[in-house]
A = this chain, B = another copy of it.
Amino acid sequence: MAKNKTAITPTRAENYAEWYQQVVKNSDLAENSPVRGCMVIKPWGFGIWENIKDALDRRFKETGHENAYFPLLVPVSFLEREAEHVDGFAKECAVVTHHRLEKTDSNELRPSGLLEEPFVIRPTSETIIGETYSKWVNSYRDLPILINQWANVMRWEMRTRLFLRTSEFLWQEGHTVHASAEEAREETLMILDIYAEIARNWLAMPVIKGEKTPEERFPGAVETYTIEAMMQDGKALQAGTSHFLGQNFARAFDIKYLSKEGSEEYGWTTSWGASTRMIGGLIMTHSDDDGLVLPPAIAPKQVTIIPVGREDEQASARLEYCERLKKQLAEKTGNGYRIESFIDNRDVGGGVKFWESIKKGYPLRIEIGNKELEASTVSINRRCDDRREKSVVGVDEFVSRSESMLADIQDTLYERARKYQEDKTVSVGSLDEFVDYFKKNQDFVECFASCDPDDVDAREAATKPLQVTSRCAPLETFAEEGTCIFTGKKGKKVIFAKAY
């Protein structure tokens, strides 16, 4: 491959959507499966998910939550109990109607054993968990209930894209019950902070914390909070949501408790989720025309070490040198993660190794040839720099500086993405400006907008033709008030964008 060619075809500028698919494919993260809309998450992709999972799980546990597990199947009658909820999910449910397969006369398998009541594969678990909590909650002493579950869910999607929109995906869903609205809202916001913190510190992904406007709320929620990230095409990606459900589900599922004062009260519930979709956001935040770029904190492995050179008498000495280095790096844990290395000693050409390490997004690429071996040095390239840039340092110095070097890469990626988002966020003061801007650009647009449910139609009359949606009212500017560009009423600052 010529040096000025990119490893990924097409480039972002040529065809962003196809570039995304090619990055996923070339980095070996995931692939489409024989089951329409469902993906196979390959080891490199699953390793990222394991790191996201560990980081979130640790924070959930530190804040008093425990994990549990609830059934995959939800009786159809449960879905019906919360009116908005069923409207939100009924159209995209995988339905289980039979409990065995039987051979026909022509020796084909067909469904048999019709179920009395069909089940859906959970699209989310508010209903089945609500029903369970109604038995667990009796007294104020049983509250709060702070439970999370790691699970697969299914929403039958017609147009799917790996990680971003798949029929089956992996996620966590937290479900809590509290004795007061205030406490439930505090929980909702605390979880939002955790999501933003993991996005920031682990995925190096800048996000905007905010509240959804009414039309973008979770079906059945009173308030939905979100973290929104900007992709490199200027579109928004919702990377995690936290819902204050009020007493809607408590009423639908009869979650009642006897208060300290002896009165019977409905509980206040929350739910919150983050999914494998985060990986889609991670990819589109950092990757470039050479493929995946991974922040070190979330990479399954941070370093690829490539022994370079022919099968000469130095080959085994080079390999030992690599193994010693790998071991020394693994002992460094100051960054909050172990530095994992892959020694690429495979029986394939050096060019293949070089390009694979780039396309898979290893934060650091180390090359060890006879020159490095003899001089006790390492040749280093940072994935976030140009791929031709190299520095040569003594191996001991590299080991002792490895943690700060990785932390610096992490900061560089975050800062680059933050700057990008800042540069591509504009404020507009009128509807004309709003329409004009979106006709020419695909960025984040901030303006004042009324968040009243009655004003949704007025707003959507302007935004729908532009294929733009309200992303959130940022918490940072939540107290500011101004004139809504759609209605002339009072409004809050709201971000609008095209969205994944």
Contacts and interface: CB of A to CB of B under 8 A. Distances in A.
Nearest to A66: B43
A71 B168 contact: yes
B90 A100 contact: yes
A162 to B, nearest CB: 12
A154 to B, nearest CB: 7
Contacts of A97: 95-98, 111
A301 to B, nearest CB: 11
A453 interface: no
B128 A34 contact: yes
Interface in A1-53: 33-35, 38-43, 46-47, 49-50
A346 B141 contact: yes
A25 to B, nearest CB: 12
A35 B74 contact: yes
B46 A66 contact: yes
B95 A69 contact: no
A177 to B, nearest CB: 14
B109 A99 contact: no
A152 B73 CA distance: 11
A113 B99 CA distance: 19
A128 B95 contact: no
Interface residues of A, number: 64
Contacts of A49: 69
A168 B97 CA distance: 16
A75 interface: yes
A92 B100 CA distance: 5
A156 interface: yes
A141 B347 contact: yes
A70 B152 CA distance: 11
A396 B358 CA distance: 54
B101 A69 contact: no
A71 B131 contact: no
B156 A99 contact: yes
A375 interface: no
Given A43-B68, A97-B97, 19 more contacts: A34-B75, A34-B132, A35-B75, A35-B128, A40-B70, A41-B69, A46-B67, A46-B68, A46-B69, A76-B101, A76-B109, A80-B109, A90-B100, A92-B100, A93-B99, A97-B111, A98-B118, A99-B156, A121-B121
21 contacts: A33-B70, A34-B71, A34-B128, A35-B71, A38-B72, A38-B73, A43-B66, A46-B66, A46-B67, A46-B69, A72-B168, A73-B168, A76-B109, A86-B109, A94-B96, A95-B97, A95-B99, A98-B118, A121-B121, A141-B348, A152-B152
